[in-house]
Amino acid sequence: MGISAYLAEHITAFIDATGYISVYALMVLESMVFPIPSEAVMPFAGFLVVTGKFTLAGVIIASTLGSITGSLLSYWMGAVGGEPFFRRFGKYFLLDMHELEATQRFFHKRGPAAVLISRFIPVVRHLISIPAGVGRMPLVPFCIYTVIGAGLWNTILAVAGIKLKQNWDELMHYSHTIDIGVLVALVALVGLYIYKHRAKLRTWGR
């Protein structure tokens, strides 16, 4: 079994065994500062739509509820603790303050619409709720923009997973090429993670 098939099988099996609650919980974490990409969750939930274990509506509802829950938690931390909270405790979440500062600039430039737009931008989507909370963005528009943006993005990924599963056998004819791409991507992600957090990792290693 190749790398891509192995990952697909085990991630799908985990989501299958834990049900909609895992989709919800993983998307709560994805919408906070934890490094869990929605791209590693939603397509495999889409796989289970094809097998009949999930429905597309159920996947969209569970994931979007998770997204708004995680976003509200980050919003609350930003509103109550402000930037000093994250400067003091962000290291425990492996939060990159440079990324947070870039996200804050994006929020100030785009205004409330940034909450919607950011759902389609890697990294920014994890952090955008913090400057929204720090800036005390009105809660109702925040929730509306978050639900619309997260709902659309989650739907796109779930439908992509459905299409991927429906064409899985054909794609596996090119599994060797796909595995090389997956391996390169994994190595690059690990290297980038270590590079970005090297100072924190050195501190913890002492």
Query: Got the DSSP string for 15-75?
Result: HHHHTHHHHHHHHHHHTTTS---GGGTHHHHHHHHHTTSS-HHHHHHHHHHHHHHHHHHHH
pLDDT of residue 109: 86
Res 192 pLDDT > 70 = no
Residue 46 domain-assigned (yes or no): yes
Residue 206 domain-assigned (yes or no): no
Which domain, by its residues, includes 105? 3-169
Neighbours of 51 (CB within 10 A): 10
Res 1 pLDDT > 60 = no
Structure-token match 């100072």, residue found: 199
* pLDDT tens figures, 62-90: 999 999 999 999 999 888 887 777 777 77
pLDDT of residue 170: 61
Residue 182 domain-assigned (yes or no): no
Number of domains in the chain: 1
Residue 114 domain-assigned (yes or no): yes
- Report yes or no: 146 and 67 within 8 Å, Cβ to Cβ: yes
Residue 200 domain-assigned (yes or no): no
- Report yes or no: 4 and 179 within 8 Å, Cβ to Cβ: yes
Residue 86 domain-assigned (yes or no): yes
Of 126, 137, 131, 163, the C-alpha closest to 42 is 163
Query: What does the pLDDT average to over 94-114?
Result: 82
- Report yes or no: 22 and 14 within 8 Å, Cβ to Cβ: yes
Residue 197 domain-assigned (yes or no): no
Task: Please tell me which residue, 164 or 10, carries the higher pLDDT value.
Answer: 164
- Report yes or no: 141 and 89 within 8 Å, Cβ to Cβ: no
Residue 184 domain-assigned (yes or no): no
Provide the token pair at 171: 């794609």
* pLDDT tens figures, 109-121: 888 888 999 888 8
